[in-house]
A and B are shown apart, each in its own frame.
Chain A
Amino acid sequence: MSGLRARARGGRLPWLLAAAALLVAATGFQMASLSQRPVRDLPAVLYLQSPTVARRAVLSFDMLAADLYWLRALQHFGATRLQTSGPRTFENLYPFLDLATSLDPRFVVAYRFGAIFLSESPPGGPGRPDLAVRLLEKGVAATPDRWQYFQDIGFVHYWWTGEYDRAADAFSKGAAIEGAPWWMRSLAAVTLSEGGDRQTSRLLWRSLSQTAENDWLRRDAQRRLTQLDALDHLDQLQAVVARGRLSGLSAPWSWAQLLQAGLLSGVPIDPTGVPYVIDINTGRVDLDRRSTLWPLPTEPRGLPGLAREPR
């Protein structure tokens, strides 16, 4: 009997070895096939388009499905931003976020991050503040007691659409919710009176950075504040160039030229430590593309009659 068992074990080995050899060969074939395949960017496939259908199709795994759609939204947004060739279309971003928030209507981060992603102007984002507001309004419908959604709606209107009355209205609605911070009411007033002013923008971002429940949101707000600092620097540097022009300097513009003229004490660097660049022909000062702050946001346009410092 034991001999029989031993023979059976011994007889199994060649089969296992042959299987292993075939698996190795299959791997080789797979790699060869992949290397021969033409490179093509497949669009992100949206298997389920209707949130209603999705909710039913996933049975009681709705929370996990929401997480998967959230991850897909993140991947889609990140991958599209990093795309180096072809048009950057974020066509599936809203559907992914819509599905994630329909499957888990209390998915706070999906609403709040989603709104940031959707609002971001091209090429860094789809530039769809309307969809951002729609997503946040969906969040308000799901959990009307979260004042943060109103803060975000106001933010989108303030920063991306420039509709200060709507922004103020959203801040006011948020302020009326129990537990909302006192400064929401001030935001409403300031937005109405001084919308578009950089100081107001700074106030908004600071309020977000101090109250954000999520590390990423906080970091994003802090990055925006740093970008505003960079915008201040750029205004100051542009003023230096203007002074140089008045004192007779002209193209080709360079930092060396301004240093020699005594208008600067060193090569100016942005808050991340990357030197600013100056256009050799026009003297326009800008952020270096290698800076992590690039691209700088387009500032909201000011209220009619409100003076804005020129850049």
Chain B
Amino acid sequence: MGLLRAVALNTFREAVRDRVFYNLLLFAVLLVGTSLIIGQLAAGQDVKIIKDLGLAASLLFGVGIAVFLGIQLVAREVERRSVHATLAKPVSRPVFLLGKYVGLLLTLGVNITVMAVALFAVLAVYQSVTPAGVQATWTAPALDPRLLIALGLIYVELAVVTGVALLFSTYSSALLSATFTTAIWVAGHFVGDLRTVEQIGASGTTVWVARLVSWVLPNLALFDVKAEVVHGLPVPAGQVVAAVGYGAAYGAAMWLIAVAIFQRRDFK
């Protein structure tokens, strides 16, 4: 446990040293800047647009970090040969990978927490300057706690993407890992289409292969409740719990495959 914590904290510190959290500044500027402009342009849809933008930016920035730090998790250690020193200590390869994974999840957790605080702060300002009569027409309150559900599921999605990046990082170059992880992230949004591919005329083996691939790819649509939350629609607890369970299982599976590959890897 101590070793795991050491590797995880070290990964987190590396992320801080890499100035990863500078993206928060960009996020804050984007959110505040947009909120100032949107009020003039959106014909009464300012709160909706700020929520949409805040959630979309949290996901986009998070995926950026998950992909570009995730692919370096192992590859950089190997390149620098620091992996030799680490593995020479009593750190097993599974613990090393898990520590790296947890360290990046910690980074993403801090990142999304600060983004959530910034989003709520902007929405709080909007709420305080909006007359009660206008607020009554909003489909959901500005400071809707359900936003946390959307942000939480975004975090789970990021955990899955990080798991995929970690997997590729154990055996591929940084460039290829980035390409593969991004491709998986994009494809993960088309899982529903793959399962209904026969509706666009596909048949036989194509349908079978598409269905198979759809169960192997991460179904990232499960983590998308942004529309429901922004429109103030109910999000069943069971749906959220199942999505979190799916994300945890998928992320763990990625880690296990990464371990299987990494265990056999020779460092000379």
Contact = CB atoms under 8 A, between A and B. Distances in A.
A60 B224 contact: yes
Contact of B56 (A64, A70, A74, A216): A64
A41 interface: no
A213 B227 contact: no
B52 A64 contact: yes
B66 interface: no
Interface of A: 56, 59-64, 66-67, 70-71, 74-75, 104, 106, 108-109, 113, 213-216
Interface in B126-153: 134, 137, 139
Given A60-B189, A106-B139, A106-B231, 7 more contacts: A61-B59, A70-B42, A75-B41, A109-B45, A113-B43, A215-B134, A216-B44
Most chain A CB within a 10 A radius of its CB, from B44, B55, B233: B44
Most chain B CB within a 10 A radius of its CB, from A59, A104, A109: A59
Interface residues of B, number: 28
B186 A59 contact: yes
B44 A214 contact: yes
A63 B43 contact: no
* Interface of chain A: mostly helix, strand, loop or mixed: helix
A106 B48 CA distance: 12
A71 B41 contact: yes
Contacts of B193: 56
Contacts, number: 58
A67 B49 contact: yes
A61 B59 CA distance: 9
15 contacts: A56-B190, A56-B193, A60-B59, A62-B227, A63-B52, A64-B53, A67-B48, A67-B53, A70-B45, A71-B42, A74-B41, A75-B41, A109-B44, A214-B137, A215-B137
B104 interface: no
A60 B220 contact: yes
Interface in B49-83: 49, 52-53, 55-56, 59-60
B80 to A, nearest CB: 23
Contacts of A70: 42, 45
B44 A60 contact: no
A108 B139 contact: yes
B43 A106 contact: no
Given A104-B227, A106-B231, A74 B42 contact: yes
Contacts of B41: 71, 74-75
User: Which 8 A-B residue pairs are closest in the complex by CB-CB distance?
Assistant: A64-B56, A213-B137, A63-B52, A59-B189, A60-B224, A67-B49, A64-B52, A214-B44
